[in-house]
A = this chain, B = another copy of it.
Amino acid sequence: MTTPVRTQRADATRNRELLLAAAEQEFAEKGLEASVADIARRAGVAKGTIFRHFATKEDLIAAIVGGHFANLTAVARELLEADEPGAALLELLTVTADNLQQKDLTFLQSVTAQDSQVIALRDELYEAISALVERARTAGAVRPDLTGTDVFVLMCTPVHAVGFLSDPAPDVWRRYLALIFDGFRPEGATPLPRPAPNWP
């Protein structure tokens, strides 16, 4: 019998989802300059509605970025249970690249660099990745000097590399992921010239 209350919220929640989806599309197509008006139009709501859900364009972006971090964290945590630590790590990178390939919103992070919510979510992802890396290291699947930070900062690389091509096949990133992952392996590893940076 609480339905009436929920019903209203259902509408709002739906709009929120519509807005987030529309915003992701617009940002993916037009970059940071995607206008709030266009996002609203694509979501099929009035310009004002967007500000009821996200007080600021920045807040909207934070919601998007945070959401993506959270999704990835969930994946990473699940993979902590996987049998083969090396394969698990590779799988995380594969999922990440796959997501990115379909909609690269990495550039949104520049806007949310100071947002504490986003930072918290990003740190959670970092923790999960670190655990995954440690397992792989212990199992001898990756070189002993590889850290979670290393993997975190190189995670988007395969897709970004593909971005320099004009009309790339949809999964060339797999080539670059493999290439980079080969650099993670113990075989043929040369000593690294600098220590791994600390996590922010």
Q: Mark A140-156, 1 if CB is under 8 A from B, else 0.
A: 00000010011011101
B180 touches A197 (CB 8 A): no
A48 at the interface (CB under 8 A from B): no
Interface residues in chain A, defined as those with a beta carbon under 8 Å from any beta carbon in chain B: 31, 109-110, 113, 146, 149-150, 152-154, 156-157, 160-169, 171-172, 174-176, 178-190, 192-197, 200
**Which chain B positions have C-beta within 8 A of A185?**
188, 190
C-alpha spacing A149/B171, complex, angstroms: 15
Q: Smallest distance from the beta carbon of A8 to chain B beta carbons, Å?
A: 12
**Which chain B positions have C-beta within 8 A of A175?**
150, 192-197
Of the candidates B161, B165, B176, B190, the one whose C-beta lies within 8 Å of that of A182 is B190
Copy number of this protein in the oligomer? 4
Closest residue of B by beta carbon distance from A185? B188
C-alpha spacing A166/B154, complex, angstroms: 15
**Which chain B positions have C-beta within 8 A of A179?**
146, 150, 154, 180, 183-184, 192
**Which chain B positions have C-beta within 8 A of A196?**
175
By Cβ-Cβ distance, the 10 closest A-B pairs, closest first, are A187-B188, A183-B183, A188-B188, A166-B200, A175-B194, A153-B161, A182-B183, A153-B164, A174-B193, A179-B183
